Structure 1
Amino acid sequence: MAKRMPASIALPGPEPSQRRDWETLKTLLPYLLEWKWRVLFALACLVTAKVANVTVPLVFKGIIDGFTLPREQALLLVPLGLLAAYGALRFSTALFTELREIIFAKVTQRAQRTIALQVFDHLHALSLRFHLERQTGGLTRDIERGTRAVGSLISYTIYSILPTLLEIGLVLTILVIRYDVSFAVITFVTLAVYVTFTILVTNWRTKIRREANEHDSAANVRAIDSLINYETVKYFNNEGFEARRYDEQLQKWEAAQIRTQVSLSYLNLGQAVIIAVAVTLMMWRAAVGVVDGSMTVGDIVLVNAFLIQLYMPLNHLGILYREIRQSLTDIERLFGLLVQHREVQDAPDARPLERGPCAVSFEGVGFAYEPKRRILADVGFDIPAGRSLAVVGHSGSGKSTLARLLYRFYDISAGGIRINGSDIRSLTQASLRAAIGIVPQDTVLFNDTIFYNIQYGRPTAARDEVIEAARAAHLHEFIERLPDGYETKVGERGLKLSGGEKQRVAIARALLKNPPILIFDEATSALDSKTEKAIQGELDQVAHGHTTLIIAHRLSTVMNADEILVLDGGRIVERGRHRDLLERGGYYAQMWALQLQEKGIESEAEAVTAA
């Protein structure tokens, strides 16, 4: 019965706070319909199991009535077949219940897997703005709880609520047919009171549960954020401060959890009172029937067995309703993530970028992260295929924003960005980003091996290609000196490596990808002078034949660029080659003189050589 997992199932649009419970249940239906034959077979097992379960007390009544007769008649009226039927029915109840679970297990787990994958894909599809503003600890906790709640909601709703209602219906039908109507009335009134009480109290408890979840997520945010910034905490000796901040949230969470547990006890006590009153009334009515001769001893046993069978589903129904409400509360945030707006989306008619050399053009580009904070204004330049262009300027001038816009992490506010004459908004994001490789200023690595992190540039690359990329980045000898070589774990975010080592891994990764467009965003900023000179030569060689955008603060790294742009306040204030810009005596010349002054005699010699 293997079946392909649905690639995409449409999810509803309303905000989580506006969602209704039926909308949540309706959301799950497409996942169940993917396995409709399994669902139908499991439903058949469900009905069979409940019919067998309700039939057991009827057979047991016949056995008891038989034993209340004289011994000679009892032996005749209680044949071995009746006892065998009793045992068979008992076994059938367990058999079909477990068979139902076996058949339906794949439905639940596949739905859980599909939704988890959808959330994962959707988060990767959201804009950089969302990920810069997110709180990682709270996000991971919301995904964990929400994904788990999806499985709980499906199981509880489809295969726990339905069998409970079916069993109650069967019992009520038998009581109405076989006994006085008072038995059915007592049972029905008990059900109504029990369900009403459970719903009212559980809805009240849901608010408390939601508050507890809020504090739980907030505490997790503080814990994860503190651990991620472990070194900063140590630098400023603020372990105690972080512990107090964490404990503030834990205290709120503790108080909310205590209220949750106390309210649960109130609910359990109320349910117990309702059931106890109902049991007393039913047994009293049955005892009266036995005394006046309208009922046998077997009837009172039957009524008692039905009461036990009703009590368990009723008690289970209360637990199920509480769990469903709690699952709905947990799943709210998960659905909230799924309806997050994708700020950057492929156009309906988007086409892939054709492979081959790429020419890049910025045409009057304007951009602002926020309406009141302009970053770029009327920026225009061309990078012919196979040529290089460098962008320099003071911090905050908008240099790194150019790379983010070329990657289309954001959509521009004005103008256009074109590759081979095509506006990048008309291209698929996947093909666009496949054509670009970057060495970022701040390199973040996966908590895996050095080999994995280099190979991430092209996951299908062979080991020899990975090693060759490491050699080109002057990283191979360092790796060979490590005890575990290429299998050395780099730690979370690559913290086990120095800044220069991480940057060389990033360079090797970009070299391995070997795309037509390369971006070097302060690619050698974390390297020492000797290594920088060696790798700069490699980068110049690699950039040959590639369309290259170099973003730099050190002007010595851009001297050989075909064109240099100077950004100031989001505008291009100068452009030209290194020698021409120096002769003009403008912004670039001032920056060059300042950096020479900072570096001293060594850079003077470098300046003479360049001149």
Structure 2
Amino acid sequence: MMAARYYGLELDANDFRLGQGEPQPSAAALSAWAQSAGMWSRALRLKWRHLFSVTGAGPVVLLFNDGSAGLLTGANTENKIVFVRDPRAPEAEPPVPVDEMRLAEVWSGEVVLLRAERTQEAADPPFTLRWLASVVMQERKHLRDLVIASLSISFLTILPPLLVMQTVDRVMVHHSYSTLFLIASILGTMVVYETLLGFARRLIILVVGTRTDAKLNLHVFSRLIRLPLDYFERHPAGETMYRVSQVNQVRQFITGKLMTTILDMITLGVLLPFLFWLNATLAWIVLACATAIMLIILAFLRPVRAIFGKVINAETLKNAALGETIFGIKTVKSLAVEPQRKALWDEKVAEVGKWRWELGKLSNWPQTLVTPIERFMYMGTILIGAYLALSQDNGFQIGAIFAFMMLSQRVSQPLVGLARLIEEWEEVGGAMAMAAEVLNRPLEVDAASGGLRPKFVGAVSYEDVTFTYAGTKLPALDRVSFSVPAGTTLGLVGRSGSGKSTITRLLQGINREYSGFLKIDGADLREINLRHLRSSFGVVLQENFLFRGTIRENILSGRPGLTLEDAIRAARLAGAEEFIERMPNGYETWIEEGSPNLSGGQRQRLAIARALITDPRILILDEATSALDPESEALVNANLKRIARGRTMFIVSHRLSSLVDCDQILVLEKGKAIDIGSHATLLERCAIYRTLWNQQNRHMFSEGSGHAAPAPALVQGD
């Protein structure tokens, strides 16, 4: 935390998650904590000499063997000492000079490096083939071993044909059993070496593929989760999942077919000169056949590309229909629309089948044209070689034919594989474009560690704010201006589409393309770090998603460093304690996806407890009690005064009866702020509010009243 303060950042200890089974914080866990706060961080194991090169850019955290830590603040190269500060010592106390021997007694090399921010290139590289290649090239050590193994196998491949040639031309002619046994021994030894090298090569390819796959998945999820909410609201989940899944196809191509072909080309570079040494005529025939195969495949690339694009589009729509059906299965079952969804699915499957049939028919032509050329490459060279061996004026011998037959297949395979690689690239290129369509979208406008991180009090002001959703012409908010003092409970009312939820969306930073000014405690919201902003809020929606896990894990999901006692406190405040304690396993009760073992009211109260666990200064309840039964709603409303103590609350509700105790109520109509005041005040002077109240309370004649906070200022738009 001291190292973070050096860069002007504040780490929250409640966000720290201790690794499972760890008796004390590890370097990796501390690094992950710093990264979650938006810092650049790495956990490393260094030697003494490395400490002189890492100082100068800021403090370095040294983790000692006894579980304590120190800050490396500087070094003196001439005297071979480093300066270490005890974080528990007074700030005025100077750092302690330490030499190698003293440090080695308490330190085994674990450090945590911190920086204020990562560069844009390192943090958010675009998803391109060039970036993928750079990820693979990070495994240089393994790739070097791979090349060495491939070259060794290539040279070992040359010797068996040579030995076979000698067997045919020498052993069989002279009936030399001793030479035959020698050749057999050499071949057996070579087979053992080739087997071991092949095993090592496949193992290295597996290591490179696994490590690359892990890095790729981490990068993909990091970008996906930082896409703006607006993207997920406008694109079906099934479509997004299908597009992102194409990343695996690209990865398999790079670490599979592409890497294998490149390694085979290394073999080709070794074997091709040897083929020309055996017989130049036959070698040219092999090259000519491989070139013809490549030209045929290249000729079909453009039409295949056009049809494959239609296959991709049809597959995307099919998976979007599947995802929509799965995510909306409750509605499908309740409305009995299974036949309609099946008809839609049949239509999408038929469309995919149609274009895959067209693609298959077109792809069948190059395969048909290539087959006779491939056969001639293998069998024709044997016949021509036999003719050359029979010619009286040619020195080509029978043993050389056998050697050429053995090597020609090893040479032709990489050439044909290269042509096939070009053909497969069209499909991989399409998969790459699909994944990039999602992953290369602009991320939420927020630097990884930039922006202000103020300690919120809770004063909020909207100054002439105008916002229009993409694809619409009418503004959702039209020059809205109002201010809310810290600690105020503000109700938001209005007819559907009046802009109530938009007010809260802008406050959470979900949409930032607005005009005017939105300030929290005087700081412009667009200048505040987005993650810090949202982690300082508590938000409860009308429909809340609970994660698979226990009730305790769901309540503590926002603050993994907190304890069961904190979860109980939040549940009690939200009115959820009474039903949790009736559960068979209490707070350890398991919640499945969709939380079928909980009622709507129970889910809502758990969501409120989850929002309160962070002790937010600003709490947003967006129709949070609309799904509750009257008893649960009365329980939550009774707790609202305790919940609101010391924090600013925005409560969106269609039920005006639940807002009568709010300090202030903002009335919205068609995106405009019409009036703001207490319940009693609005009944007297606001016709819209009075109409809404009378519609919901026809049987009531008495007006409710509530305590009003210091009157917020309202600036009407022109």
Task: Tell me the TM-score normalised to structure 2 length.
Answer: 0.76
- List alignment gaps of at least 5 residues for structure 2: 1-27, 29-41, 45-117, 709-718
2:572 alignment partner in structure 1: 471
**Aligned equivalent of 1:39, options 137, 143, 163:** 143
The residue that corresponds to 2:163 in the other structure is 59
Equivalences for residues 273-352 of structure 1 within 5 A: 273-292=372-391, 294-342=395-443, 344-346=444-446, 350-352=450-452
Which of the residues 513, 516, 525 maps onto 1:424? 525
Alpha-carbon contact 1:392-1:553 (below 8 Å) kept: yes
CA contact (8 A) 2:518 2:524 kept: yes
Query: Which residue does 1:166 correspond to in 2?
Result: 266
How much has 1:426 moved relative to structure 2? 0.9
Structure 2 SS opposite 1:68: helix
Give CA deviations for 1:385-443 in whole Å, capped at 9, x if unaligned: 22222222122110111110011111142211111211011111011111111111222
Measured in 2, the distance between the counterparts of 1:26 and 1:341 equals 19
Task: Check whether the contact 2:243–2:438 (CA below 8 A) recurs between aligned residues.
Answer: no
1:242 to 326, 330, 341: 341
Report the AA paired with residue 67 of structure 1.
V
- Amino acid across the alignment from 1:65: D
Q: Which amino acid aligns with 2:275?
A: L
The match for 1:595 is 696
2:284 equivalent among 160, 174, 185: 185
Return the alpha-carbon distance in structure 2 between the equivalents of residues 488 and 494 of structure 1.
Answer: 11
Distance 1:374 1:493, change over 3 A: farther
Please say if residues 390 and 550 of structure 1, whose CA atoms lie closer than 8 Å, have aligned partners that are also in contact.
Answer: yes
Instruction: Please state if 1:92 is matched with 2:193.
Output: yes
Aligned-partner Cα distance in 2 for 1:285–1:184 = 11
Could you tell me which amino acid in structure 1 is paired with residue 328 of structure 2? N
Classify the secondary structure of the residue corresponding to 1:373: coil
What secondary structure is seen at the aligned counterpart in 2 of 1:514? coil
Q: Per the alignment, in what secondary structure is the counterpart of residue 369 of structure 1?
A: coil
Please, which of 522, 537, 562 is the counterpart of residue 461 of structure 1?
A: 562
Distance in structure 1 (CA, Å) of the matches to 2:209 and 2:220: 17
The answer for unaligned runs of 5 or more in structure 1 is: 14-23
Q: Which residue of 2 aligns with 1:16?
A: none
How far does residue 192 in structure 1 lie from its aligned partner after superposition? 0.8
1:131-181 CA-partner distances (Å, limit 9, x unpaired): 111111121112112233223223322x212222233333321122232x3
Q: Does 1:450 align with 2:554?
A: no
Residues 33/4 of structure 1: CA separation in 2 closer, same or farther (3 Å cut): farther
Measure how far apart 1:264 and its partner are: 4.6
Does the 8 Å CA contact 1:392/1:551 hold for their aligned counterparts?
Answer: yes
Q: Distance in 2 between matches of 1:160 and 1:280?
A: 25
State the identity %.
Answer: 27
2: CA distance, partners of 1:375 / 1:439: 21
Q: Is the 8 A contact 1:53 1:90 kept in 2?
A: no
Relative to structure 1, the CA distance from residue 363 to residue 423 in structure 2 (aligned partners, 3 Å threshold; closer, same or farther) is: same
1:185 aligned partner, one-letter code: W
Q: Which residue does the alignment assign to 2:239? A: 138
Is the aligned partner of 1:542 residue 2:646?
no
| Contact persistence 1:454–1:508 (CA under 8 A) | yes
Change (3 A) 1:262 1:51: farther
Q: Does 1:272 align with 2:371?
A: yes
Task: Tell whether 2:458 aligns with 1:354.
Answer: no
Query: Residues 449 and 206 of structure 1: is their aligned pair in 2 closer, same or farther, counting only changes over 3 Å?
Result: farther
The 3 A distance-change label for structure 1 pair 60 and 111 is: same
1:463-489 per-position Cα deviation (integer Å, ceiling 9, x unaligned): 232233223222233234344544545
Show the counterpart of 2:208.
107
Q: What letter corresponds to residue 477 of structure 1 in structure 2?
A: E
Please report how far the alpha carbon of residue 245 of structure 1 lies from its aligned counterpart in structure 2 after TM superposition: 0.8
Distance in 1 separating the partners of 2:350 and 2:460: 55
Range moving further from structure 2, 398-407 or 411-420: 411-420
Range with bigger deviation, 521-530 or 424-433: 521-530
Superposition deviation, residue 12 in structure 1:
4.7
Deviations 1:197-245 (A, max 9, x none): 2333355434444433322221121122122222322333221111111
1:55 deviates by 2.9
Change in 2 beyond 3 A, CA 1:412/1:332? closer
Query: 2:427, 2:379 → 1: CA distance?
Result: 32
Aligned-partner residue type, residue 244 of structure 1: A
Task: For 1:496 and 1:207, locate their aligned partners in 2 and report how far apart those are by CA, in whole Å.
Answer: 49
Q: Does 2:296 match 1:226? A: no
Q: Check conservation: 1:208, 1:259, Cα contact below 8 A.
A: yes
What does 1:525-536 align with in structure 2 at a 5 Å threshold?
525-536=626-637
Report the secondary structure of 1:218's partner residue: helix
The one-letter amino acid paired with 2:467 is F
Q: Return the offset for 1:367.
A: 0.9
Identify if the C-alpha distance between structure 1 residues 42 and 609 changes in structure 2 by more than 3 Å, giving closer, same or farther: closer
Q: How does the TM-score come out when normalised to structure 1?
A: 0.89
The residue correspondences of 1:397-416 to structure 2 (distance < 5 A) are 397-416=498-517
Alpha-carbon contact 1:417-1:424 (below 8 Å) kept: yes
Aligned to 1:561: 662
Structure 2 vs 1, CA of residues 307 and 132 (structure 1 numbering), >3 Å: closer, same or farther? same
Q: Deviations over 1:11-41 (max 9, x none)?
A: 458xxxxxxxxxx542323212322222222
Distance 2:601 2:492 in 1: 22
AA at the equivalent of 1:75: Y
1:67/1:10 CA distance change after superposition, 3 Å = farther
- In structure 2, C-alpha distance between the alignment counterparts of 1:198 and 1:4, rounded to whole Å: 49
SS in 2 for 1:171: helix
One-letter amino acid matched to 2:503: L
User: Which sits farther off after the overlay, 95-104 or 567-576?
Assistant: 95-104
**2-structure distance, mates of 1:537, 1:339:** 47
Task: Find the aligned partners of 1:238 and 1:608 in 2 and give their Cα distance.
Answer: 48
Question: How far apart are the structure 2 equivalents of 1:88 and 1:521?
Answer: 76
Q: Retained in 2: the 8 A contact 1:147–1:334?
A: no
Does residue 258 (structure 1) correspond to residue 362 (structure 2)? The answer is no
CA contact (8 A) 2:154 2:271 kept: no
SS of aligned partner of 1:374: coil
**Whole-Å separation in 1 of the counterparts to 2:337 and 2:356:** 28
Report the 3-state secondary structure (helix = DSSP H, G, I; strand = E; otherwise coil) of the residue aligned with 1:337: helix
Cα 1:270–1:355 shift into 2, 3 Å: same
Tell me if the contact between 1:147 and 1:331 (Cα under 8 Å) persists in the aligned partners: no
